[in-house]
Amino acid sequence: MFELAEKTAELAHVRPKLCNTAIFANAKGGVGKSTLALMMSLGLATRHPKADVELIDLDSQATSSESLRRFANHRFTVKNDDNLFLASGSPNNGSIINHIETVEAHRTKQKYIVFDSPAGNEPGRSSFLLHCDVIFVPTSVSDADIFATRKYLLSLHQLFQRQRKDYDNEAPSVVILPNLVDSRAEFNELRQALDDCPAYIGQPLYYSPLFRRAFRAEDDDGNVRALLRSNDAYIEWLTTTLAELDRLNPNPDKLFQL
Ligand SMILES: Nc1ncnc2c1ncn2[C@@H]1O[C@H](COP(=O)(O)OP(=O)(O)OP(=O)(O)O)[C@@H](O)[C@H]1O
Ligand SMILES: [Mg+2]
């Protein structure tokens, strides 16, 4: 009996998680949250044909859900549900957490939930962030974005510390995503500016005019195909980071390059 219990615990421990939840978030607008949520969700849907992918748009502007709805099928769902945010635009923590937990409880095959979130998101009012496995924080290299990103990371850290007092749960991994980068030198500059942040930093996504057309519904989807094709290596890295997330926890003490 004891042996069986031990074996079951062992199996539960090694069994890969069947639902991985990621959010793209930063209080700053225009840093690439929706663009990266699009790349992640289409990247997962095309690279993991046995998994289900759900894109949930928490932004009332609905940039990502409106442009991605045309790709929805039995494996790829796109959700923009009024119940998930309050009239004020703040997230409805209770219903989001309930949704994540219900999905986790009923999985029989791998599922990825990808949240896109609006600018102005405040971690202090977003306790659902603690139920995500990873928080991707896109930022550009401009001074204004770096400043806002540092502030956002600090608020996330405070949220994690508040929860640690109540529970002993592991905090979500935090991965900064440098976006709209011009050169390697600029990327290095960003790393220096964020060096003391207790988070991971991902591969750089360089500036490309292709992204400007990412959300258009072209007849043959040539714009989306070109975008996915020309960023193949980046998308491979991004989707693998989510699929193999168990390698990341816990967050580092200072900036760590992935
Ligand atoms: N790597 C890139 N190169 C060029 N343009 C980009 C890149 N990434 C994003 N953009 C463009 O920058 C603008 C802002 O991107 P996006 O809408 O994804 O940001 P966001 O953080 O979701 O903004 P919001 O806070 O308004 O929701 C868009 O016009 C997008 O096409
Ligand atoms: Mg957006």
For 65-81, the pLDDT digits (tens) are 999 999 999 999 999 99
Q: Which ligand is nearest to the CA of 29?
A: 1
The CA distance from 79 to 65, in Å, is 7
Distance from the alpha carbon of residue 34 to the mean position of ligand 1, in angstroms? 7
Alpha helices in 167-210 (DSSP H): 184-193
Distance from the alpha carbon of residue 134 to the mean position of ligand 2, in angstroms? 18
Is 121's C-beta closer than 6 angstroms to any atom of ligand 1?
Answer: no
Q: Does domain 20-246 have CATH number 3.90.79.10?
A: no
Tell me which residue of 120, 137, 110, 181 sits closest to 22, measured CA to CA: 137
Q: Lowest-confidence range among 104-108, 124-128, 233-237?
A: 104-108
- Residue found by looking up tokens 């999905």 in the block: 103
What average pLDDT does this structure show over 135-161? Answer: 96
- Residue found by looking up tokens 């759900």 in the block: 54
The pick from 24, 35, 223 for probing ligand 1's pocket by mutation, whose C-beta has the most ligand atoms within 8 angstroms, reads 35
Distance from the alpha carbon of residue 142 to the mean position of ligand 1, in angstroms? 14
Q: What is the pTM of this model?
A: 0.93
Hey, where are the domains in the chain? 20-246
Is 34's C-beta closer than 6 angstroms to any atom of ligand 1?
Answer: yes
Cα distances (angstroms) measured from residue 15 to each of 9, 11, 26, 110, 132:
10, 6, 32, 12, 19
Tell me which residue of 169, 157, 238 sits closest to 196, measured CA to CA: 157
Distance from the alpha carbon of residue 4 to the mean position of ligand 2, in angstroms? 49
For 24-50, the pLDDT digits (tens) are 999 999 999 999 999 999 999 999 999
Q: Can you tell me which atom of ligand 1 is nearest the CA of 179?
A: 1
The CA distance from 132 to 236, in Å, is 21
* pLDDT score at 3: 55
Q: How confident is the model at residue 86 (pLDDT cuts 50, 70, 90)?
A: confident
Q: What is the mean pLDDT of the chain?
A: 91
Distance from the alpha carbon of residue 40 to the mean position of ligand 2, in angstroms? 14
The CA distance from 239 to 135, in Å, is 13
Is 169's C-beta closer than 6 angstroms to any atom of ligand 1?
Answer: no
Q: Can you tell me which atom of ligand 1 is nearest the CA of 118?
A: 27
The residue whose C-alpha atom lies closest to atom 5 belonging to ligand 1 is 211
